[in-house]
């Protein structure tokens, strides 16, 4: 695997230690205690969680969230033997999620001045900063808006770090009654809980999907739809499995048509289903995704920024990304990138301003479904330095000054919301499609892009080395770099 690791926003949270108590009649040995740890406890598929909950109680655990629809409990316990003690009838599997939070993929935000953002024009399809949104003409946005700019009955869940509800391009776009925090695997619908605190990643993603056409700032792909903020990224920048499960379940139960997922659920680049510790996480997440799909939700996910061939998994030398990397070799396709490789999820790679694969974008024949603009700030100089305006311009929130603005980021975190926005237009123009039908329609209306010949590397002069970003594309009209092709907003509404 290419050793391009995701930027860690902050260190992992400190844990709380339990304390033993004296009992009447003299001092007794304190019960063994350990860190206050979160666990996923799974009942057998199709069974209720009643028996599992009883075993949790007997093992000195506390249920903090129950997802009976999929047989999953989120539990906290200081019992160091909890995994062993909880095993038995009614419990299929259990896994601690300690150390399984992964740092949110993030890149530098380059802010645009307020003066640039406030130069109001009379053309609703050309917001003041639209001229800097090279990504929008690439996907046919001006033509699409002349036909359909989205329907307010379509809700797109942004499972991310929160959305600024005070941003002038987003304030009217958010369905507050459908927004929540899922941190810790439990819901908190207070507006403050789902607003950003330490990262503007979710605010940037939200702007790409549905920034208002209101004479201010940028244009979103589907400004007529509604956004729901579903906060799954904690203040340290980590995404734990219980938060992701909560997010998918919230979307399922609150009438979302789509979710955008620009993150990984595990600090390992690949989550191995044949690993005893990782398998319960895979099971819980997949159950939640399947349940949401059955409830009418199409989930869209970013492919990742490691220039890794997801169709040929051999090794992983850079994981975990929240600790000391370990070498894992001789991997198989039982190891998956979550949620991108979960069945039923639309997986999106990234391209830059030329339409060619971004140097960092992961790829893979049979894995990538579609491609979309994600930015490529190094192709102009073959990797020597960045041209920041070749990133994606969208809405931002300065978490230090608590001010709204606009700025550039790049990554498959940015390409995913382009695909989600186009899918939202498709759902608006053709209501009633099932998630599978919507995914197929998104692919069939994409514009096919051919593989480049030979070894592809647009950044041979990058400081990390001349072959650090070598990649080889396989396939024909549908291929490992671009899947079915570039999403197209006009094609889905015409």
Give the integer Cα–Cα distance in Å for 245 and 287: 9
d(CA 244, CA 65): 13
Q: Which residues are catalytic?
A: 160, 201, 413
Tokens, residue 312: 């040929």
Nearest to 444 by CA among 431, 466, 461, 426: 426
Question: What DSSP state is assigned to residue 69?
Answer: T
Burial of 289 (0-12, 13-18, 19+ CB in 10 A): buried
- Inter-CA distances, 435 with 84, 289, 341, Å: 39, 12, 16
Q: How far apart (Å, rounded) are the C-alpha atoms in residues 456 and 461? A: 13
Report yes or no: 308 and 330 within 8 Å, Cβ to Cβ: no
Residue 180 Cα distances to 103, 169, 493, angstroms: 20, 20, 30
Give the pairing of strands 326-329 and 315-319.
Answer: antiparallel
Beta bridge partners of 230: 159, 180
Q: Read out DSSP for 407-473?
A: EEE-SHHHHHHHHHHHHHHHHHHSTT--HHHHHHHHHHTSB--PPPSSEE-S-TTSTT-TTTT-EE-
CA separation, residue 417 to residues 56, 159, 278 (Å): 39, 11, 28
- The pairing of strands 258-261 and 298-302 is parallel
Burial of 476 per CB tally in 10 Å (0-12, 13-18, 19+)? exposed
144 vs 491: CA distance, rounded Å: 8
Contact 337, 310 (CB under 8 A): yes
Q: How many angstroms separate the CA atoms of 2 and 471, rounded?
A: 10
- Report yes or no: 191 and 178 within 8 Å, Cβ to Cβ: no
Is the torsion defined by CA of 287, 290, 292, 294 positive or negative?
negative
């Amino acid at each position: 695997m290419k050793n391009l690791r995701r930027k860690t926003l902050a260190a992992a949270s400190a844990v709380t230690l339990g304390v033993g108590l004296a009992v009447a009649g003299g001092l007794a040995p304190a019960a063994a205690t350990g860190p206050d740890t979160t666990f996923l406890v799974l009942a057998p598929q199709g069974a209720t969680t009643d028996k599992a909950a009883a075993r949790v109680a007997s093992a000195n655990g506390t249920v903090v969230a129950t997802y009976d629809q999929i047989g999953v409990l989120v539990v906290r316990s200081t019992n160091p033997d909890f995994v062993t003690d909880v095993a038995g009838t009614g419990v299929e599997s259990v896994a601690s999620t300690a150390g399984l939070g992964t740092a949110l993929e993030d890149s530098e935000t380059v802010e645009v001045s307020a003066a640039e953002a406030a130069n109001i024009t009379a053309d609703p399809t050309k917001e003041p900063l639209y001229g800097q949104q090279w990504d929008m003409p690439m996907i046919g946005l001006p033509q699409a808006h002349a036909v359909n700019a989205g329907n307010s009955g379509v809700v797109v869940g942004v499972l991310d770090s929160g959305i600024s509800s005070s941003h002038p391009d987003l304030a009217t776009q958010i369905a507050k009654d459908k927004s929540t925090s899922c941190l810790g695997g439990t819901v908190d619908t207070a507006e403050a809980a789902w607003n950003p605190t330490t990262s503007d990643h979710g605010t940037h993603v939200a702007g790409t999907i549905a920034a208002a056409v209101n004479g201010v700032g940028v244009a979103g792909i589907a400004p007529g739809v509604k956004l729901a903020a579903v906060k799954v990224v904690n203040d340290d920048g980590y995404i734990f499995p219980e938060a992701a499960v909560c997010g998918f379940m919230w979307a399922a139960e609150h009438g979302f048509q789509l979710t955008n997922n620009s993150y990984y659920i595990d600090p390992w680049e690949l989550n191995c289903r044949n690993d005893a510790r990782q398998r319960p996480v895979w099971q819980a997440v997949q159950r939640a995704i399947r349940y949401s799909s059955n409830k009418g939700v199409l989930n869209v996910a970013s492919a990742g920024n490691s220039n890794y061939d997801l169709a040929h998994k051999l090794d992983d030398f850079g994981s975990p990304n929240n600790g000391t990397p370990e070498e894992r070799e001789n991997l198989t396709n039982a190891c998956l990138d979550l949620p991108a490789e979960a069945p039923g999820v639309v997986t999106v790679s990234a391209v830059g301003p030329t339409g060619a694969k971004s140097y960092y974008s992961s790829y893979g024949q049979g894995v990538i479904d579609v491609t979309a603009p994600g930015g490529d700030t190094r192709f102009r100089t073959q990797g020597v330095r960045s041209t920041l305006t070749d990133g994606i311009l969208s809405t931002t929130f300065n978490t230090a000054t608590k001010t709204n603005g606009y700025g550039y980021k790049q990554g498959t975190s940015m390409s995913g919301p382009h695909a989600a926005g186009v899918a939202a237009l498709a759902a608006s123009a053709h209501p009633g499609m099932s998630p599978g039908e919507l995914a197929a329609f998104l692919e069939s209306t994409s514009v096919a892009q051919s593989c480049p010949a030979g070894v592809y590397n647009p950044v041979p002069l990058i400081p990390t080395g001349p072959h650090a970003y070598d990649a080889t594309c396989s396939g024909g009209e549908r291929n490992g770099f671009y899947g079915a092709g570039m999403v197209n907003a006009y094609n889905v509404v015409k």
